[in-house]
């Protein structure tokens, strides 16, 4: 469960990225976050994963009160998270396979299972023939899919997907969205920041809107916006 109450974030240069932000996301919910560039979407994710601390208010993610949570609890929380970073954060000088495998190895997944899952997810994301390629040689869209494979192969309980389809064509975007939906169906809580009008038009899921660091819209799931998938 994720709960933000009066949450605010001011960066050290004085930029106010979130203000009086209130949100509750239940376990196993799927939620889309929209909002113009600079609205605060990535900041919200950084607070949820403990990369930044709240400046005011509170943010609880499962058992962790962010900013107060001890190192061990934070480590446990992150073990249960799969993050699709907007800026990828892939390990340079390593292959696609190594990047996906390292994400699972730190969780203690066994060697054979690590190899099996890496191949499965790379294949599902259309990267079967890029398995041995160095990250630096991959196209932008290939790197994006690799980040998705790295995050989802960990089978996380919480998925933070920051513009996961930003560099992909329609077919590949659908594939990524289907994998996120499958993760939700397996029990994960899934948050997706996106600009994609296509995704937002069709979704039967809850959509919140951020503007200038504030929550300005919250449309619940199944509100008759479009067809179910």
Residues binding ligand ATP (CB under 6 A) = 11, 13, 15, 17, 35, 37-43, 86
Nearer to Mg ion, 50 or 127 (CB): 50
State the residue for tokens 């449309």: 219
Nearer to Mg ion, 4 or 104 (CB): 4
Q: How far is the CB of 31 from ligand ATP (least distance, A)?
A: 15
Nearer to ligand ATP, 134 or 209 (CB): 209
Task: Report the partner that residue 43 touches, choosing among Mg ion, ligand ATP, none (CB closer than 5 to 8 A by kind).
Answer: ligand ATP
Q: How far is the CB of 86 from ligand ATP (least distance, A)?
A: 6
* β strands within the chain, DSSP E: 2-10, 16-25, 30-34, 56-61, 64-65, 81-84, 158-162, 189-193, 206-211, 214-219
Q: How far is the CB of 11 from Mg ion (least distance, A)?
A: 14
> Is the distance from CB of 107 to CB of 75 less than 8 angstroms?
no
Nearer to ligand ATP, 43 or 153 (CB): 43
Q: How far is the CB of 97 from Mg ion (least distance, A)?
A: 28
Provide the mask over 84-123, with x wherever binding to Mg ion is found by CB under 5 A and - wherever it is not: --x-------------------------------------
Sign of CA dihedral 209, 210, 216, 218: positive
Q: How far is the CB of 115 from Mg ion (least distance, A)?
A: 33
| Category of 29 on φ-ψ map: left (φ > 0), alpha (ψ -120 to 50) or beta | beta
* β strands within 26-176, DSSP E: 30-34, 56-61, 64-65, 81-84, 158-162
Residue of 42, 95, 173, 196 that binds Mg ion (CB under 5 A): 42
> ∠152-155-161 over CA atoms, to 5°?
40
How are strands ordered across the β-sheet holding 56-61?
16-25, 2-10, 56-61, 64-65
196 binds Mg ion (CB under 5 A): no
Angle, in degrees to the nearest 10, between helices 96-105 and 140-152:
20
Task: Report the partner that residue 95 touches, choosing among Mg ion, ligand ATP, none (CB closer than 5 to 8 A by kind).
Answer: none
Interacting residue ranges for Mg ion, rule: CB under 5 A:
41-42, 86
């Amino acid at each position: 469960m994720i709960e933000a109450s009066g949450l605010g974030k001011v960066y050290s240069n004085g930029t106010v990225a979130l203000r009086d932000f209130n949100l509750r996301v239940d376990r196993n919910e799927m939620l889309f976050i929209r909002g113009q560039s600079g609205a605060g979407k990535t900041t919200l994710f950084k607070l949820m994963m403990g990369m930044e601390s709240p400046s005011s208010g509170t943010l609880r993610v499962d058992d962790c009160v962010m900013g107060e949570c001890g190192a061990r609890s934070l480590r446990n929380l992150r073990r249960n998270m799969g993050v699709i970073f907007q800026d990828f954060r892939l390990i340079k000088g390593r292959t696609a396979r190594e990047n996906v495998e390292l994400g699972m190895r730190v969780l203690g997944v066994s060697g054979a299972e690590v190899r099996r899952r890496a191949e499965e997810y790379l294949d599902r994301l259309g990267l079967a023939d890029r398995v041995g390629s160095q990250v630096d040689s991959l196209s932008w869209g290939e790197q994006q899919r690799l980040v998705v494979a790295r995050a989802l192969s960990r089978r996380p309980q919480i998925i933070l997907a920051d513009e996961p389809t930003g560099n992909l064509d329609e077919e590949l975007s659908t594939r990524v969205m289907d994998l996120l939906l499958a993760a939700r169906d397996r029990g994960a809580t899934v948050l997706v920041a996106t600009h994609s009008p296509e995704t937002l038009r069709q979704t039967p899921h809850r959509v919140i809107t951020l503007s200038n660091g504030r929550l300005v819209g919250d449309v619940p799931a199944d509100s008759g916006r479009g067809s179910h998938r």
